[in-house]
A and B are shown apart, each in its own frame.
Chain A
Amino acid sequence: MAGVVLKDVNKVYPNGYQAITDLNLEIADGEFLVLVGPSGCGKSTALRMVAGLEEITGGELSIGDRIVNDVHPKDRDIAMVFQNYALYPHMSVADNIGFPLKLAKVPKSQIRARVAKAASILDLTDQLDKKPGNLSGGQRQRVAMGRAIVRQPKAFLMDEPLSNLDAKLRVQMRAEIASLQKDLGVTTVYVTHDQVEAMTMGDRVAVMKRGFLQQADTPQNLYDKPANVFVAGFIGSPSMNLFLVKLGGTIEAPTIELGDQTLQVDPSALEGRSELTDFIGKDIVAGVRPEDISDAGLADEDERSPGETITTTVHLMESLGSEIIVHFPLPVESFSIMDAEFEGEDALEVATDSIGRTIYVARVSPRSQARLGESISLRFDTGRMHFFDPSTGLAIRD
């Protein structure tokens, strides 16, 4: 068993395109690390470099304690599960799973034993003689995993293995993969574009954008302490509301202007953010998660904090039963985490109402009396507000 270490890894293609820049990541032995990010962020490229399917242009890759930059994939002791499973359609399940062993010239009796063992772990024993064409999506997925397991590798690499499954199956397989990994204790690097999948499965999650590592941390830390605006907006669904506003007031009593209403920021938000003093009177990105906004009308008398309440109208309502998602307009500019030149102009489009105000999102209690088109008072839990430097995108900290 071994950990995987990427040190200053760079990937530049022959045409000059830099896919990965200065990637530094240490994956501990037995850890389940998820690489997540929008398409084109380099997560698959990074995984393929670890696998040996792509050349590493610069930097060092180690598996175990061995530098493996120039080592053949077969000798890196890794196993990969592809997005489309890559099952050999003309071979039976047993032959598919045993294929790597056959190539390694393992004696037939051993192959049979190891295949049987992998099959029993994955509940495939009844399927061993069937061909992949006769299996369900979930079963095929398991065969792909069986082929990886049977090699007893030092690390599993998984490239969006659940993308081809329907939603319900995906949820089920997520749990299966996670528990399987815990049982086997094998270091796993998992790539996905789905942040929910990332958050539920990973011991740690590495968020990437355009070839740069944004932040690698536990899911809770990514949620509570995003290192920059991108991570803040990427993690969490619905996404964090990002207001581009001026920081007003004083450092003891800061305020932000949301249109013609002023929001008083709870001083507890300043803890650990001493640099905020430099931003008084300047532009700042203030982030509030939808779940940190509540219906002020439901609060008890003594909990009402008028300074933290904003009045607006209900633009759209989505009743989920367990909560209500309220879309509301504010005449405040939103900060976009997408890249115009990379994701295209369309990615920059924000929802606006008929008079050009940006629509933001709140998650309120199902007991809320909100009505479509009517006025609503929303209380912002400013103690849980996030602040970012609009020029660098970095979180404002100590």
Chain B
Amino acid sequence: MVLPRFLKRTPLHVAVIVIVALWSLPTTGLLISSFRPQNDVVTSGWWTVVEHPFEGSNWTIKNYSRVLESDGLWRALANSVVVTLPATIIPITIAAFAAYAFAWMKFPGRRMLFGGVVMLLVVPIQMTLVPLLRMYSGLNLSGTYVGTWLAHATFGLPLAVYLLYNYISSLPSEIMESAYLDGASHYDIFRRLVLPLSAPALASFAIFQFLWVWNDLLVSLVFLGTDSEVATLTATLNELVGSKGEKWHILTAGAFVSMAVPVGVFLGMQRFFVRGMLAGSVKG
């Protein structure tokens, strides 16, 4: 019979539901509050909506329109996109070539150089900030998108090379030997065989890097700044906390705007993300 078995597992199911509920509580609170009128948010707890969930006056989308237009979140969203997309694509291309060289080309010092690149995973970003700031102001890169792209691309390279190397070196050598016999050069092999076959690894890293760059605060603050023309969502949200700390109807909507894209990407590409994590769980 089904019933007794379900009953026996009830403690388990209850535990699971409780854990899931607890875990989602903070985010739910945020989400619900972002749709409530300003007055309600600061006077009553968000959980009170369950008493009258369907009354129209309990809900509004004005918070979102307000935060996007007047508080500059539209611009910040755009800036985040501008910073993140290239900062994701550039390291992938560069790392793919390097990983291929490490995996399938012979040259002296190959192991040492690769070891060196992987060891760079250890270096925290903080170790580069002070000098980079000085270098950037000299090169006129401070507060520019380009400077941020270069910084993010560099910081993402060690992990990218590591992940891609692991994947590329596990491709069957016979495929490359066969192509070589047919007259393919390294470039041909890379372009026609290795790249397409590495698509899963490339996708995994791309998602990693995308989330990392989109959610980053430190690099944004240091290299891009808080000027509303260029500030990303994270930096802008941080500013909002400082300037509009009590206005929860705005803060909640703003936070949700900053979360929407990465959570969407994450949910959509979960598979690649998990695979990437299992493959190389080494990023600080």
Contacts and interface: CB of A to CB of B under 8 A. Distances in A.
**A–B interface present (Cβ within 8 A):** yes
Interface of A: 51-53, 72-74, 78-80, 82-90, 99-100, 103-104, 147, 151
A90 B197 contact: yes
Given A89-B197, A90-B197, A73 B175 contact: no
B51 interface: no
Q: Which 3 interchain pairs have the tightest Cβ spacing?
A: A74-B183, A100-B182, A86-B174
Nearest to B189: A103
Interface in B184-238: 184, 188, 193, 196-197
Contacts of B196: 90
Contacts of A87: 175
B183 A104 contact: yes
Contacts of B177: 53, 80, 82, 86
Contacts of B181: 51-53, 73-74, 78-80
Given A88-B193, A90-B196, A90-B197, A99 B179 contact: yes
Contacts of B243: none
A132 to B, nearest CB: 11
Contacts of A147: 178
26 contacts: A53-B180, A72-B183, A74-B181, A74-B183, A78-B181, A79-B181, A80-B178, A83-B174, A84-B174, A85-B174, A86-B175, A86-B177, A86-B178, A87-B175, A88-B175, A89-B197, A99-B179, A99-B182, A100-B183, A103-B179, A103-B182, A103-B184, A104-B182, A104-B183, A147-B178, A151-B182
Interface residues on B, range: 10 to 19
Contacts of B284: none
Nearest to B181: A73
B268 interface: no
A103 B188 contact: yes
B172 to A, nearest CB: 6
Contact of B183 (A53, A85, A103): A103
A258 to B, nearest CB: 50
Contacts of A103: 179, 182-184, 188
Nearest to A105: B183
B178 to A, nearest CB: 4
Nearest to A103: B183
A375 B172 CA distance: 56
A103 B185 CA distance: 9
A99 B183 CA distance: 10
A115 to B, nearest CB: 14
> Residue among A87, A88, A104 with the most chain B CB within 10 A?
A88
Nearest to B184: A103
A52 to B, nearest CB: 7
Contacts of A90: 196-197
Given A90-B196, A104-B183, A82 B188 contact: no
> Residue among A84, A103, A104 with the most chain B CB within 10 A?
A103
A103 B193 CA distance: 12
A47 to B, nearest CB: 12
Given A84-B172, A147-B178, 13 more contacts: A51-B181, A53-B180, A74-B181, A74-B182, A82-B174, A82-B177, A86-B172, A90-B196, A103-B182, A103-B184, A103-B188, A104-B182, A104-B183
A88 B180 CA distance: 13
Contacts of B197: 88-90
A378 B120 CA distance: 75
Contacts of A52: 181
A79 B182 CA distance: 8
A217 B197 CA distance: 44
A84 B172 CA distance: 9
Contacts of A100: 182-183
B156 to A, nearest CB: 26
Contacts of B180: 53, 73
A191 to B, nearest CB: 14
Contacts of A85: 174
Nearest to A95: B192
> Residue among A79, A82, A85 with the most chain B CB within 10 A?
A82
A53 B180 CA distance: 9
Nearest to B182: A100
Contacts of B183: 72-74, 100, 103-104
A35 to B, nearest CB: 18
> Residue among B172, B174, B182 with the most chain A CB within 10 A?
B182
Interface string B20-63: 00000000000000000000000000000000000000000000
A262 B136 CA distance: 98
Contacts of A99: 179, 182
Contacts of A78: 181
Nearest to A51: B181
A66 B184 CA distance: 23
A83 B175 CA distance: 11
Contacts of B182: 74, 99-100, 103-104, 151
A80 B196 CA distance: 23
Contacts of B175: 86-88
A92 to B, nearest CB: 13
Contacts of A74: 181-183
A87 B172 CA distance: 10
A355 B46 CA distance: 89
Contacts of A88: 175, 193, 197
A116 B32 CA distance: 63
A72 B185 CA distance: 11
Contacts of B172: 84, 86
B249 to A, nearest CB: 51
Nearest to B176: A86
A89 B172 CA distance: 11
Nearest to B196: A90
A79 B180 CA distance: 11
A103 B183 CA distance: 7
A136 to B, nearest CB: 19
A49 B197 CA distance: 28
